[in-house]
Amino acid sequence: MSDQTADWASYEQDRRRVRREFWAKAKRVAARLPFAEDLLAAYYCAFDRNTPRHVHVALVGALAYFVLPIDAVPDMLPLFGYTDDAAVLATALRLVASHIRPGHREAAQRALARNLATE
């Protein structure tokens, strides 16, 4: 298997895992995250069919880091647990900020307003 094929397989695995596990984790922790709206807007942008592939890949990578249980700073640590997740997301958002549309932000705000209840 070529490196490119292996990379694509890894990306597809991350994409499926984000789709499967994102909302459960977001519901558990969103109220405590100061970057919750950015996180949700990134999710909506990442899975928008009109989002360019390179943006999709960057955001899925950042979202996978949020979803994965093992990361640089354990999420269970009070105050510091999500700082690495926030840094990864902030970096990805800076790289693709022009692709986060008002519709993505509005969808994020609606999800937060209903406490992520229907996602």
| pLDDT, position 8 | 66
Nearest alpha carbon to residue 75 among 86, 63, 90, 61: 86
Residue listed under structure tokens 């928008």: 48
Cα 85–chain centre separation: 9
Nearest alpha carbon to residue 8 among 44, 48, 52, 56: 56
Q: Rounded to 10 degrees, what is the CA torsion of 84, 65, 42, 30?
A: -70
End-to-end alpha-carbon separation of the chain, Å?
A: 37
Contacts of 63 (CB under 8 A, 6+ apart): 18, 22, 39, 42, 43, 46, 89
- pLDDT profile of the chain (119 residues), mean per 10: 64 84 86 86 95 92 82 54 78 91 96 74
